[in-house]
Amino acid sequence: MCAGGTLSYYPRTKRSAVWGPRRAKNRVWESRKKTIGRKYADFQISKFGTNAQPYYCLMGHNGELLHEPRAYNLDKDGFVKFLQEGLDNFKNGVSVRNINE
């Protein structure tokens, strides 16, 4: 999720991706990407080293990670705290790291 919108990961969608196919860097995904879900899975594996579902990442406009990613957890208060800390970091220009580096 970033301040301007939400990146959603749909692993089982059959809808074709709108951008051209490419070879994945990870050996798990050696075939061409044909669905949006596979592209998002490759993004998650290459940038975060995991393929958890759901996996929440708060990101700024230029790929800066605003909070450490969070996997599925039923703790509602913890999730609200996660979102609030990410929003505060975004407003204050604080980031954990940039995923593009």
* Nearest C-alpha neighbor of 55 from the set 35, 64, 45, 96: 45
| Mean pLDDT to the nearest integer, 51-65 | 89
Asked if the model's pLDDT at residue 10 lies above 90, the reply is no
Quick one: CA dihedral 64, 29, 20, 5, positive or negative? negative
pLDDT beyond 50 at 3: no
Residue 32 confidence (pLDDT): 55
Q: Mind listing the domains of the chain with CATH numbers? A: 27-98 (3.40.30.10)
Question: What's the angle, vertex CA 50, arms to CA 48 and CA 53, rounded to 5?
Answer: 115
Global pTM? 0.62
For 23-57, the pLDDT digits (tens) are: 445 544 455 556 777 888 888 888 888 888 888 99
